[in-house]
Structure 1
Amino acid sequence: MTEPQGCKPALPGRPGDRLAGKVALVTGIGAGIGRGIALMFAQQGARVLGCDIDGASAQATVDTAAAAGLALHSLHPLDLTQPAAVAGLVEQAVALHGGIDILVNAAAFGAFEWLEAMDYQSQWRKTLVGEVDIVFLACQAAWPHLRARGGGSVINFASANAHMALPLSPALAHCAGKGAVLAMSRQLAMEGGPFGIRVNTISPALVETAATRTPLDTMPGFKDQVLGKFMLKRLGQPEDIGWLAIYLASDESSWVTAADFAIDAGATAW
């Protein structure tokens, strides 16, 4: 949607300087949590390079940032399952900004189907590639540049589904993928510790995005089931996740690593 002439677009978050001087690489900026984090990081003074496989959506995020005078660039369309493409993304960040301080692995693909109906190649394997492999590839490509900066922050996304099963949700492959990200991130935190590289995970419950609107709108009883697990009776918003990501990316969290943060309205507490 085109903004009215002379009006700045509405943005999540608010301006600040908590990430001033930092370079952030954010995947999946075209929509949802990735888009919100990219825009909120830029508002907090970070120089952001993003990517998305959906070129039109990524460009819309870049245009929104540009209209607000924010430093956000993107490579798109970009397929994070291709090692050469991931290496090129990291090289572009270094070429543009001289290095990397923050990596946010927000991009993901997940197929939702019950066990007996799930296709091995197109759903199970594709989900593990889209939720685990792309995190591995981005971390591996960014790692030497984080080391060269004397450390940095990696933020990966697990999920409430890494901790619990939700009735009515056919999330088998998604649960497996996010559980793997949770375990992998702990190992990465150990490997990164001697170099000052911090690795943490965020585990959201259901956040209202374009991707989650379909089950919310079409699966009878699903929204009530989700909200029934929440102590705070509303769906999450990308901005809810963005504030935590800002903290984990900033020097405020310089003694925080190998931690998993539940942003889930209390869903996993009972």
Structure 2
Amino acid sequence: MNLPPAANPKARSSRLEGKVAIVTGIGSGIGKACALMFARHGASVVGCDLDPRAAQATLEEARAEGLALESLHPCDLTRPEEARRLVDFTLARFGRLQVLVNAAAWAAFKPVEELSYEEWRKTLASELDLVFLLCQAAWPYLKRQGGAILNFASANAYRVLERSPALAHCAGKGGVLALTRQLALEGAPFGIRANTISPGLVVTGATRPVIADPEIHDLWLKEHMLARFGTPEDVAWAAVFLVSDEASWITAADLAVDGGTRAL
């Protein structure tokens, strides 16, 4: 299949000029791609990550490009006080906050009989609790002038994938979908929009070793209308749109960025 070339991820514009954004999980994957792309399109970005080395590497990459990116690391967003610390850090640095992107997550991928209760709880805390805690910490400041919240669900919130034991992950991302719809309702009177993106299989440091197995690669690739897996930048382009003023009449929506997998 001949696919059109992807947009240049290092392109620049003023689409997000004047906006201050928190982006979590900037050390790798979708969080890193969103942080860098937001900054390339004019936003002042504050990131965070649990892994200080990974966050620092992203920060150095941004500085090499001359981008406006700050980072608070390490930062464990499953702890309420750390969520508040990230918001306070952002306000101290920029004095305002208009965009919140919850990209950080972790999940245990094991079948029901092998998944421990501790792994189940850690997955829900890392995929659901940290979204709630940071949204709650940022809420009073977003209410002041409106803003945009972007959370990440998953194609796994809608469908299962053969040979992917994603029980806890499916539960966590299904929860993110429901939580975000309610946030949209509660935020609407204050001009706060809340949306989700549901990515399909995106090639990251976590997924790359799994799809290196030729059998798994071919099995999962067949689940996509477009004959490739996604990249973090594919998702970041959609994120730029959803937090921009171009999407000012979009809330409580879930955007599938999955190569068509959810429709199969």
What are the ranges of 5 or more consecutive residues in structure 2 without an aligned counterpart?
Answer: 1-7
TM-superposed CA distance for 1:14, in Å, is 1.1
- The reply to whether residue 252 of structure 1 matches residue 246 of structure 2 is yes
Q: Distance in 1 between matches of 2:89 and 2:9?
A: 26
1:221 match: secondary structure = helix
Checking the alignment, whether the CA contact within 8 Å between 1:81 and 1:134 is kept in structure 2 is yes
TM-superposed CA distance for 1:99, in Å, is 1.0
CA deviation map 1:64-101 (0-9, x unaligned): 01011110000001111111111010011111111111
Q: Distance in 2 between matches of 1:177 and 1:224?
A: 27
- The reply to whether residue 16 of structure 1 matches residue 10 of structure 2 is no
Aligned mate of 1:142, from 116, 124, 138 = 138
One-letter code of the match for 1:202?
A: I
- The reply to whether residue 75 of structure 1 matches residue 72 of structure 2 is yes
- The reply to whether residue 192 of structure 1 matches residue 187 of structure 2 is yes
CA deviation map 1:139-180 (0-9, x unaligned): 0001111011x2100000000000000110000000000000
TM-superposed CA distance for 1:12, in Å, is 3.1
Q: Where do 1:39-54 residues align within 5 Å?
A: 39-54=36-51
- The reply to whether residue 108 of structure 1 matches residue 105 of structure 2 is yes
Give 1:63's aligned residue.
60
CA deviation map 1:28-78 (0-9, x unaligned): 000000000000000001000000000000000000010111100000011
Q: Distance in 1 between matches of 2:155 and 2:254?
A: 10
Give the share of equivalent positions with the same residue, in percent: 58
TM-score (norm 2): 0.96
1:26 match: secondary structure = strand
Aligned mate of 1:182, from 177, 183, 192 = 177
Q: Where do 1:87-126 residues align within 5 Å?
A: 87-121=84-118, 123-126=119-122
Q: Distance in 2 between matches of 1:147 and 1:225?
A: 46
CA deviation map 1:224-244 (0-9, x unaligned): 121111000001001100111
Checking the alignment, whether the CA contact within 8 Å between 1:12 and 1:39 is kept in structure 2 is no
- The reply to whether residue 153 of structure 1 matches residue 128 of structure 2 is no
2:96 match: secondary structure = coil
Q: Distance in 2 between matches of 1:41 and 1:226?
A: 30
TM-superposed CA distance for 1:214, in Å, is 2.1
Aligned mate of 1:167, from 162, 166, 172 = 162
Q: Distance in 1 between matches of 2:221 and 2:63?
A: 36
Q: Distance in 1 between matches of 2:120 and 2:160?
A: 17
Aligned-pair RMSD on alpha carbons?
Answer: 1.0
One-letter code of the match for 1:137?
A: L
TM-superposed CA distance for 1:13, in Å, is 3.4
2:207 match: secondary structure = helix
One-letter code of the match for 2:139?
A: W
Q: Distance in 2 between matches of 1:76 and 1:225?
A: 38
Aligned mate of 1:133, from 126, 129, 132 = 129
CA deviation map 1:170-221 (0-9, x unaligned): 0000000000000110011000000000000000001001111121124x62
One-letter code of the match for 1:241?
A: V
What are the ranges of 5 or more consecutive residues in structure 1 without an aligned counterpart?
Answer: 1-10
